[in-house]
Amino acid sequence: MTTVEDKLTTEEWLAIRKEAGLRIDPATAHVTWRYAQVVDPYGVFPYDPEADCVGREYFARSPESDVWVSFSDLPKATLDALWNRADAMSMTICLSSSE
């Protein structure tokens, strides 16, 4: 079975993520992370062993979307708000675990 994504070029597929990133509300966004190549967090380009560098890569999406967007593709304001939200959440977790 051929899907729409099978027919997209890599550039079109990446453009969809950039566009989706513009619509992410940092207050309601779902966030996750996974280990990935830092130079290609989506894993869409041919693998070059000389450029091997795996790190923790973060992704966000709108609750109503299934398109995960790399933090590196988010607008700066959205990215900053997500990191601030993560910092606030980790502070809350630390405070509640010390009680």
Determine what percent of the chain is predicted with pLDDT higher than 70.
85
- Residue 49 tokens, joined: 């062993």
* 49 in any annotated domain: yes
Average the pLDDT over each of 14-18, 26-30, 76-80, 85-89 and give the range with the smallest value. Answer: 85-89
pTM confidence score:
0.81
Please give the average per-residue pLDDT across 47-60, as a whole number: 93
In 3D, which of 74, 10, 78 has the Cα closest to residue 42?
A: 10
* 60 in any annotated domain: yes
User: What's the confidence (pLDDT) of residue 43?
Assistant: 95
1-38 residue pLDDT tens: 445 567 899 999 999 999 999 999 999 999 999 999 99
The domain tally of the chain equals: 1
* 12 in any annotated domain: no
* 10 in any annotated domain: no
φ/ψ of 58, rounded to 5, equals -100, 145
* 4 in any annotated domain: no
* 2 in any annotated domain: no
Domain of residue 56 covers 26-97
